[in-house]
Structure 1
Amino acid sequence: MRTITLANGETVEVECLSCALVNGLIEPEGGVVMETEHFHAHQDVAYPIPGLIILASKRHLKSLDELTEEERIDYITVLAEIRKAQQNVLGIESVYYFYNEDTTHHFHTWMVPRYDWMYAFGHSVESVRPALLHARNEMNDEANLKSVRQAISALTEELER
């Protein structure tokens, strides 16, 4: 079991966070943003940054090369649709994409928006981790969580069109 600290400060114990999210055992803040046969997209549960989306595979796999052709097409299509929605409804101009193969759970991609406040932590990829920690530790107040929920709602509406 792993202990996960959520954006609101609560902790949960799960064997696989992605399985818990995909199967509805943990409700991501604001609900599911988008779901397909192969993927599940939701606001990151640990970092309260509006538009920070996790795109996770529904089945256990570790790396990009394990995706079937159908999953690869679905993955890039969903990734592009979410990115377009981030730009259109949230005005997000830049995004960092992260995917790693040493994860203990499902293949997933982080879509981390770049906001002006993040430049206080630097101007490169090295600044992302301190910005994420700042968000978790300093931005988990009700006002910011409300803006996160509003962003989720806006993205979800846009993606359902």
Structure 2
Amino acid sequence: MKKITFSNGRTVEVQCLSCALTSGVIEPEGGVVLETDYFHAHQDVAYPIKGLIILASKRHIKCFDELIEEEKTDYIQVLSKLRKAQRDVLGIESVYYFYNEDTTHHFHTWMVPRYDWIDKFGRLVESVRPVLLHARNNLNDNENMQEVMAAIDSLTKALNK
């Protein structure tokens, strides 16, 4: 079992966080943004950055090449739909995409938006980790969390019309 701490300070112990989220054992903060037969999209539960979306496979696999053809097609369609909503609904102009195969969770892609406040951390990929830690440690105030929840609600409504 692995102990996971959410952005709100709540901790849970799970074998696989992605499995717990995609199966509904754990409800992500703000709920599910978008769900298909193969994928589950939600606000990242650890870092309170408005529009930071995790797109996770429902099957417990680790690598992109393990996706079946239907999952590959769905992945690209869902990723594109999420990105369009980030731009159209939240005004997010730039996003970092991360997918790694050495994670303790299963296959998922992070969609990390860039905001002006992030510029002080730099513009290279190395800046993302300090941004995430800054968010976890400094953006858990009520005002920011209300903005994050409002963004989740707006994305969810736009994506599930």
TM-score (norm 2): 0.98
- 1:157 aligns with 157
- 1:91 aligns with 91
**What does 1:1-161 align with in structure 2 at a 5 Å threshold?**
1-161=1-161
Contact 2:23 2:58 in 1 (8 A): no
- Cα distance in structure 1, aligned partners of 2:117 and 2:156: 25
- Cα distance in structure 2, aligned partners of 1:130 and 1:152: 23
- Cα distance in structure 1, aligned partners of 2:128 and 2:94: 13
Structure 2 residue runs without a partner (length 5+):
none
- Cα distance in structure 2, aligned partners of 1:35 and 1:55: 9
Q: CA RMSD in A?
A: 0.7
- Of all paired residues, the percent bearing the same amino acid is 71
- Cα distance in structure 1, aligned partners of 2:144 and 2:31: 16
Structure 1 residue runs without a partner (length 5+):
none
Q: For each residue in 1:26-55, what CA deviation from the matched residue of structure 2 results, as whole angstroms up to 9, or x when unmatched?
A: 111100000000000000000000100000
- Cα distance in structure 1, aligned partners of 2:12 and 2:66: 29
Equivalent position SS for 2:12: strand
Contact 1:4 1:13 in 2 (8 A): yes
How many equivalent residue pairs?
Answer: 161
Equivalent position SS for 1:82: helix
| Aligned residue identity for 1:16 | C
Moved over 3 A (4+): none
Instruction: Give the C-alpha shift of residue 105 in structure 1.
Output: 1.8
Q: Which 10-residue stretch deviates more, 7-16 or 65-74? A: 7-16
Equivalent position SS for 2:40: strand
